Amino acid sequence: MNKKVDIYLGLIGDNIAQSKAPLLHHLAGLQNGMSVQYDRLVPSEQKKDFDALFDACPLSGYRAINVTYPYKERAARKVLISDPLVRAMGAVNTVLFKENGPVGYNTDYSGFIAAYRNQRGDKLPGVACLIGTGGVGRALAFALIALGTNEIRLVDNDKTKADVLADDLRKVVPTVSVRVMDNAASAADGASGLLNGTPIGMVGYEGTPLPASALTGAVWAFDAVYTPVNTEFLMDAESRGLEVISGYELFFYQGVHAWSHFANLPLDENRLRIDLKSEGNAA
């Protein structure tokens, strides 16, 4: 690795060629006079499985990494987690490699809360339909509870995963109604908030988690996908008058919060937004 670089970071995940995370952390470094190298680390391209690639990161000089789909739950089993709420989530997306071993955090959780508050202020989520109960879905579910939801309806092709998340949520907040449902459209019926926590709609995973007809009656929608920003799901929701929260907002805030763990240095968030848009359009 180049000795002129001040901090080495990386992102482990699949299908991350279009991730803007390297640009975000490069710009965060520039604000603080630091040179940042942020590498995309795809296990299949590195010819390693996730565990081998993760274990190799500190030996290769990485100070920290982000973890994305589909490895957040696996990462949680490999790190020390001091926050009991994050332990209950069972998923991490931010890892610092320290002398005593890797330490994990979940900035998807805090990032979604920030994105929601930025768009909807103090409005309560109401009944929430959450499609996808993997790593990001688990963070969204716990964030919904923190935001004051009174009911969460969980949908996943893998019903066992949804059942496990439901049990974990009930243990933390038994007063919130948590239901596991088989059909996304049925779960959306009568819900105020509709959330996509799956990769459906991402480049390479085209489509939408809900038919447009199932959006009627909802108030707001969120899509964890941000490549592209304008997913079919969010465009359908916006055309029906729902308040929409883009996955880009989650990307932005989870990145800002991850940077605080990586470098413990301040950021001018407005400047970062402007620079991201400018540099991203130029790329």
Question: What are the residue numbers of the active site?
Answer: 72
Q: Residue 54 is encoded by which pair of tokens?
A: 């993760």
Number of Cβ within a 10 Å radius of residue 52: 11
- The C-alpha angle with vertex 244 and arms to 239 and 250, in degrees rounded to 5, equals 145
Number of Cβ within a 10 Å radius of residue 264: 7
Question: How do beta strands 193-196 and 177-180 pair?
Answer: unpaired
d(CA 12, CA 72): 9
Q: Which of 90-120 are b and which e, b meaning 16 or more Cβ less than 10 Å from the residue's Cβ?
A: bbbbbbbbeeeebbbbbbbbbbbbbbbeeeb
In single-letter form, the type of residue at position 101 comes to: G
What letter does residue 6 receive in the DSSP assignment? S
d(CA 168, CA 173): 9
Contact 29, 35 (CB under 8 A): yes
d(CA 26, CA 15): 20
d(CA 268, CA 255): 13
Strands (E), 42-171: 64-67, 94-98, 101-105, 127-131, 151-155
DSSP per-residue codes, 174-225: TTSEEEE-S-HHHHHTT-SEEEE-SSTTSTTS-S-SS-GGGGTT--EEEES-
